[in-house]
Amino acid sequence: AVLTMTVVPIDHVSLPSDLTPDLLTSILTQHFGTDSFNGNVVSLNCQPLGRGVMSNVQILNVTYTSIQNENRAASESSDVQNEFRGSIPNRFLVKFQKPEIPMPDLFSVEGEFYRLVDALAEKPMSSSEDAGGIILSTLSLPFRLVDAIATGKSWLLLQYVPPDRVKTIDVTSGCPPDKFDELMTRLARLH
Q: Which residues contact 153 (CB under 8 A, 6 or more apart)?
A: 11, 14, 97, 104, 107, 108
Q: Which of 54, 50, 75, 48 is nearest to 64 (CA)?
A: 75
- Give the tens place of pLDDT for each residue, 86-135: 478 999 999 999 888 888 888 888 888 888 777 766 655 444 444 444 44
Range of lowest pLDDT (5-14, 62-71, 118-127, 164-173) = 118-127
Residue that wins the pLDDT comparison between 131 and 64: 64
For the full predicted model, state whether its pTM sits above 0.85. Answer: no
What pLDDT does 84 receive? 33
**Exposure pattern of 17-42 as b/e (b: 16+ CB <10 Å)?**
eebebebbbbbbbbbbeeebbebbbe
